[in-house]
Chain A
């Protein structure tokens, strides 16, 4: 029997994308939320690569996982690390 490995990979990657997106919304520590967002972005670029769009995958990995994470961390440096001013 032939197993659809690419289909299984799609399901696994998209499930982890969902989990990390939920964590990015729910985490109270802003630095952890930004890291969850970076993980979501990196896995989204993997999903773009699986869907045969390597062009979009390079842009997503460079902008989403690299630069916006750096900019968010720099912005959080100037404020409190917890949501809600605790």
Chain B
């Protein structure tokens, strides 16, 4: 399919970065504010869909390929499962980065403050990492669906 008009292309080029930043914000703040890996990944996949629809499949092939999107999906799933198995010395899905856990690893493991506060991003243990893994997986899955639908099933 041909690219759309110059107005659509310019506006989508401008909006692309804002949508990407909003999606990464939702993924990264998944343990503090509404949203999380799935919602942020859906927003990021809609940014991919915007670029594919505005510029046509020929130009979008230079940025995304079906292989990169499906490997994003597989990578997210492998990250999620391996994070779940890393806590297997206690239980499956054990939060081995939480403040009280031994051995202490200083990643996302601050004690959250009590009472009303602005929210500390450096908390939550393994939950932000799993949000990032789910985000990568959802970008790959939904992006691959839009990519294949736009290509029309042809190779």
Contacts and interface: CB of A to CB of B under 8 A. Distances in A.
A66 B42 contact: yes
Given A55-B35, A55-B36, A74-B149, 6 more contacts: A55-B34, A62-B39, A62-B42, A70-B46, A71-B146, A71-B149
Interface of A: 54-55, 57-59, 62-63, 66-67, 70-71, 74-75, 77-78
The interface residues of chain A, by DSSP majority, are classed as helix
A16 to B, nearest CB: 23
Interface of B: 1, 26, 34-36, 38-39, 42-43, 45-46, 49, 53, 142, 145-146, 149-150, 152
Nearest 5 pairs of A and B residues by beta carbon:
A62-B42, A54-B34, A66-B46, A58-B39, A55-B34
22 contacts: A54-B34, A55-B34, A55-B35, A55-B39, A58-B26, A58-B39, A58-B42, A58-B43, A59-B38, A59-B39, A62-B39, A62-B42, A62-B43, A66-B42, A66-B49, A67-B46, A67-B142, A71-B145, A71-B149, A74-B150, A75-B149, A77-B1
B49 A67 contact: yes
A75 B145 CA distance: 12
B149 A67 contact: no
Contacts of A63: 42, 142
Nearest to B42: A62
B21 to A, nearest CB: 15
Contacts of A59: 38-39, 42
Given A55-B36, A58-B34, A58-B39, A70 B152 contact: no
